[in-house]
């Protein structure tokens, strides 16, 4: 009789144990199911991010590498890392400035060039490199010696030390990308003209300290067929603006003609008149 009572006393304990075991098993199954769902969601998100990144890379048209060679611990080194490397701002600026130049020199709606493949300059890789020491110019562009269609944009660290460093960095990259996309007559076009075209494109994007305003006086160019050879970039920019006003699309067509080489009559051909005539007219209007 006592054994039966003892069994009855133990019965609730046994039932409670079974219930707890069931609940624990249910929790384990539920936890496992939730974990599986979370892992699947993470995988879907990861695949989505990879897909977006792949599309982003393809949309760039060329690869971009950002290099910080400024002396470690210096103000320029830290500021470049913080504001341009860690958040990919440098990459976004390169794409933005490049697109601006491409729209000017190689517009999609340019029907005249649609039947002439190969007009657009090939750019496969752009390297933005913050130099270890100050340069003679805020930005210097060089072609890679080892690889074709690879360009290195050297940025002077001095532009990161001023209060308007964001504007200066933007202008430096704008000039750099303009120089990359411009043809130079296979290295034979006058450097003054190429530099002037670079400054002209940059002036369209933003006001630069190297570009004079309409209210500022400017010296007259020589009355000759080589008036566009002025060593003053501001003078060349003003002349290019004047030519663009007289012949819309002048800079774009001039760039196209400089793809295969350079000769003294290119300006005449693009203008549709002797260059000296335009120079003379220009001088009369600004004097």
In DSSP notation, 25-90 reads: HHHHHHHHHHHHHHHHHHHHHHHHHHHHHHHHHHHHSSEEEEEE-SPTTSHHHHHHIIIIITTSHH
Residue 9 included in any domain? no
Is residue 75 situated within a structural domain?
A: yes
The answer on 193 and 173 residing in a single domain is no
Contact 276, 219 (CB under 8 A): no
> Hey, which bits of the chain come out as E strands?
63-68, 125-130, 139-143, 150-155
- Does residue 229 register a pLDDT over 80? no
Q: Are residues 136 and 204 in the same domain?
A: no
Please tell me which residue, 67 or 237, carries the higher pLDDT value.
67
pLDDT score at 210: 45
Range(s) of the domain holding residue 170: 61-181
**pTM for the model:** 0.74
The 10s digit of each residue's pLDDT in 114-170 is: 445 578 999 999 999 999 999 999 999 999 888 889 999 999 999 999 899 999 999
Has residue 240 been placed in a domain?
yes
Between residues 148 and 228, which one has the greater pLDDT? 148
Contacts of 93 (CB under 8 A, 6+ apart): 84, 169, 170, 173
Q: How far is CA 108 from CA 17, 98, 99, 103, 168, in A?
A: 76, 14, 12, 7, 29
201 vs 280, higher pLDDT:
201
Domain count of the chain? 2
Angle between helices 233-246 and 250-257 (to 10 degrees): 110
Whether 45 is covered by a domain: the verdict is no
In a shared domain, residues 173 and 256: no
Residues 221, 133 share a domain: no
Same domain for 216 and 129: no
Tokens standing for 75?
A: 């103000």
- Backbone region of residue 146 per phi and psi (left: phi > 0; alpha: psi in -120 to 50; beta: other values): alpha
Among residues 82, 54, 50, 55, the alpha carbon closest in space to that of 66 is found at: 82
Tell me what percent of the residues of the chain surpass a pLDDT of 90. 50
User: What residue has token string 């080194």?
Assistant: 77
Same domain as 280, residue 191: yes
Tell me the C-alpha distance between 36 and 33, whole Å: 5
Judge if 108 and 162 occupy the same domain.
yes
Q: Does 201 lie in the same domain as 153? A: no
Q: What is the mean pLDDT of the chain?
A: 80
Residues 155, 247: one domain? no
Question: Do 174 and 250 belong together in one domain?
Answer: no
Same domain, 99 and 173: yes
Band of the pLDDT at 28, cuts 50, 70, 90? low
């Amino acid at each position: 009789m006592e054994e039966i009572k003892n069994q009855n006393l133990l019965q609730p304990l046994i039932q409670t144990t079974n219930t707890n075991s069931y609940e624990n098993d249910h929790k384990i199954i539920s936890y496992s199911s939730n974990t599986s769902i979370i892992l699947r969601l993470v995988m879907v998100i990861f695949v989505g991010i990879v897909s977006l990144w792949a599309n982003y890379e393809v949309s760039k048209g060329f690869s971009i590498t950002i290099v910080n060679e400024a002396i470690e611990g210096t103000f320029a080194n830290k500021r470049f890392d913080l504001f341009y490397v860690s958040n990919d701002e440098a990459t976004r600026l390169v794409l933005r400035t490049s697109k601006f130049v491409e729209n000017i020199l190689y517009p999609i709606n340019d029907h005249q060039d649609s039947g002439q493949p190969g007009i657009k300059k090939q750019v496969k890789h752009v390297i933005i490199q913050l130099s270890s020491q100050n340069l003679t110019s805020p930005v210097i562009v060089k072609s890679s010696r080892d690889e074709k269609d690879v360009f290195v944009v050297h940025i002077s660290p001095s532009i990161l030390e001023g209060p308007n460093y964001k504007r200066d960095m933007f202008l430096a990259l704008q000039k750099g990308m303009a120089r990359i996309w411009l043809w130079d007559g296979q290295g034979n076009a006058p450097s003054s003209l190429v530099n002037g075209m670079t400054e002209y494109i940059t002036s369209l994007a933003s006001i630069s300290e190297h570009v004079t305003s309409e209210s500022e006086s400017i010296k007259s160019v020589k009355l000759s067929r080589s008036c566009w050879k002025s060593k003053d970039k501001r003078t060349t920019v003003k002349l290019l603006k004047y030519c663009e006003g007289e012949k819309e699309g002048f800079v774009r067509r001039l760039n196209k003609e400089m793809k295969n080489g350079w000769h003294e009559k290119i300006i005449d051909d693009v203008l549709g008149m002797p260059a000296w005539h335009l120079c003379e007219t220009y001088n009369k209007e600004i004097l």
